């Protein structure tokens, strides 16, 4: 671990991830996936998990060098394979009551020089194989959480003008601040923050908008909302009864759009880091919910391959509102990491919807969710389309227009 990463701050992050993030229960197993470079944080999480009474802590590590070796030396058929046996085991563990934690921090440019078609094939194979493990997460059946660790590769991209260890230290400080860990009681910080998010959630749910209208540079979009949609944000109870905070940090309130009622144009306001590549200048046009035109100033081939994964990949499964004044936005830093960048800006997600953002959705079959407007796909990829130049209106069932955001800030 870099000498520039404050061990006290890292320990506090681990403790909050266990106590507030996943809210691990006594006797509950914890499955952690993480980059190998994040091992210092994983070890601290394991300590706090066992102090909280964990049954077993099971880490599963990935390694960037091994991933890159596959693309540089792997046989062609390698890119259509994924370890289904691993995800089946994880899915069984979740069905048996295990909790889930993921550590973000991969080098966002790891695969920037690799063949976009191979990246798309490998991503699709992984998504198909991972369904047994992902379905309990998408359905919010178990308590889960994502936090971040400042790996060398990631830090070097965020702060390219600094020596790598200094960059890691600065990124650790940014993670610490964004994760609301400052002060004597971070758990209380998160309780207060969740209470504020719930006020926004209540206002939006009380209005029962049928659609949102986005207006801004390169954006003129009418986004229908799913039948029976529910706005959510902050800590929420999973179906196993455990209240958890899935994302640390988080600034969003979110719900389910209608996969077949989105029309108009939308332009990204921040780059999208995806599968080791960075896609910039995204602009799209929707018709009846589907992207029918897609362009990007950088990484266009990667973006277009992403849209081909399946029919749902060119439709959206999540819409989220974030004020431009969010603490992450105010750092004026591009993190090249969705966990952070999505909490600096309003965003949408291509692909799979979250079942619990439709009333009763956790009990619905995929076909029933689709009838309500919930999108079905192998992917779920967020990209940002909010800024201080974007206005959002809520459209009621009777056609009334209610200001929701003005110049990127809440209008109520």
What is the DSSP code string of 98-123?
-EEEEEE---TTTTTTS-HHHHHHHH
The CA distance from 210 to 91, in Å, is 35
- Tokens representing 57 are 């802590």
Counts of helices then strands in the chain (DSSP H, E):
13, 20
What domains lie within the chain, and their CATH numbers? 7-178 (3.40.1830.10), 206-410 (no CATH)
pLDDT for the residue numbered 274:
82
pLDDT for the residue numbered 199:
96
Provide DSSP, 131-146.
Answer: HHHHHHHHTT-S-EEE
Would you give per-residue pLDDT tens digits along the chain (412 residues)?
678 899 999 999 999 999 999 999 999 999 999 999 999 999 999 999 999 999 999 999 999 999 999 999 999 999 999 999 999 999 999 999 999 999 999 998 899 889 988 998 998 899 999 999 999 998 899 999 999 999 999 999 999 999 999 999 999 999 999 999 998 899 899 999 999 999 999 999 999 999 999 999 999 999 999 999 999 999 999 999 999 999 999 999 999 999 999 999 999 999 998 877 789 999 999 999 999 999 999 999 989 999 998 999 999 999 999 999 998 988 888 898 989 988 999 999 999 999 889 999 888 888 999 999 999 998 999 999 999 999 999 999 999 999 999 999 999 8
pLDDT for the residue numbered 275:
74
The CA distance from 244 to 30, in Å, is 14
pLDDT for the residue numbered 31:
98
CB contact at 8 A, 276 and 114: yes
Query: At a CB cut-off of 8 Å and minimum separation 6, what does 101 contact?
Result: 17, 21, 22, 30, 31, 32, 33, 45, 144, 145, 146, 147
- The per-residue pLDDT for range 319-354, each reduced to its tens digit, is 999 999 998 988 888 898 989 988 999 999 999 999
Q: Measuring CA to CA, how many Å separate 214 from each of 5, 93, 179, 202, 255?
A: 41, 42, 29, 21, 16
Consecutive H or E run containing 73: helix 64-73
Which single residue is written with the structure tokens 């200094």? Answer: 166
Q: How many CB atoms lie within 10 A of CB 305?
A: 21
Q: Produce one character per residue of 338-372: b if its CB has 16 or more CB atoms within 10 Å, e if not.
A: bbbbbbbbbbbbbbbbbbbbbeebbebeeeebbeb
pLDDT for the residue numbered 278:
84
pLDDT for the residue numbered 248:
96
Closest CA to 340 of 43, 30, 37, 105: 105
Q: 3-class DSSP state for residue 41?
A: helix
Closest CA to 102 of 19, 191, 30: 30
The CA distance from 264 to 212, in Å, is 12
Long-range contacts of 163-171 (CB under 8 A, 24+ apart): 164/2, 165/2, 165/3, 165/4, 166/4, 168/2, 168/4, 168/5, 169/2, 169/4, 169/5, 169/6, 170/4
pLDDT for the residue numbered 1:
67
- Would you give the distance in Å from CA 149 to the centre of its chain? 15
The CA distance from 37 to 122, in Å, is 22
Q: 3-class DSSP state for residue 395?
A: strand
């Amino acid at each position: 671990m870099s000498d520039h990463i404050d061990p006290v701050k890292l320990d506090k992050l681990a403790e909050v991830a266990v106590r507030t993030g996943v809210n691990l229960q006594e006797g509950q197993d914890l499955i952690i996936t993480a980059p190998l470079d994040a091992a210092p944080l994983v070890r601290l999480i394991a300590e706090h998990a066992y102090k909280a009474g964990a049954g077993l802590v099971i880490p599963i590590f990935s390694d960037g060098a091994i991933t890159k070796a596959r693309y540089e030396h792997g046989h062609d058929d390698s890119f259509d394979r994924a370890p289904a046996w691993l995800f089946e085991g994880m899915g069984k563990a979740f069905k048996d009551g295990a909790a889930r934690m993921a550590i973000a921090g991969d080098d966002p440019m790891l695969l920037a020089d690799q063949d976009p078609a191979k990246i798309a094939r490998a991503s699709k194979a992984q998504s198909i194989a991972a369904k047994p493990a992902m379905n309990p997460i998408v359905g919010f059946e178990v308590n889960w959480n994502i936090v971040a660790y400042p790996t060398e590769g990631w830090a070097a991209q965020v702060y390219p003008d600094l020596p790598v260890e200094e960059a890691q230290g600065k990124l650790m400080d940014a993670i610490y601040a964004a994760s609301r860990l400052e002060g004597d009681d971070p758990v209380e910080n998160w309780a207060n923050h969740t209470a504020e998010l719930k006020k926004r959630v209540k206002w939006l749910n009380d209005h029962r908008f049928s659609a949102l209208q986005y207006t801004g540079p390169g954006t003129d979009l009418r986004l229908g909302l799913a039948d029976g949609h529910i706005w959510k944000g902050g800590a929420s109870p999973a179906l196993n009864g455990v209240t958890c905070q899935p994302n640390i940090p988080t600034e969003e309130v979110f719900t389910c759009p209608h996969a077949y009622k989105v029309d108009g144009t939308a332009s990204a306001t921040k780059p999208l880091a995806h599968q080791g590549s960075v896609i910039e200048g995204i602009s799209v046009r929707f018709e009846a919910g589907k992207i029918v035109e897609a362009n990007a100033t950088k990484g266009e081939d990667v973006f277009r391959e992403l849209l081909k994964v399946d029919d749902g990949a060119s439709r959206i499964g999540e819409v989220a509102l974030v004020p431009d004044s969010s603490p992450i936005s105010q750092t004026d830093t591009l993190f090249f990491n969705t966990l952070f960048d999505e909490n600096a800006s309003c965003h949408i997600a291509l692909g799979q919807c979250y079942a619990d953002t439709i009333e009763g959705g956790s009990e619905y079959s995929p076909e029933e969710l689709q009838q309500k407007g919930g999108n079905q796909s192998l992917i779920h990829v967020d990209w940002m389309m909010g800024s201080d130049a974007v206005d959002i209106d809520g459209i009621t069932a009777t056609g009334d227009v209610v200001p929701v955001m003005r110049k990127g800030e809440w209008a109520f």
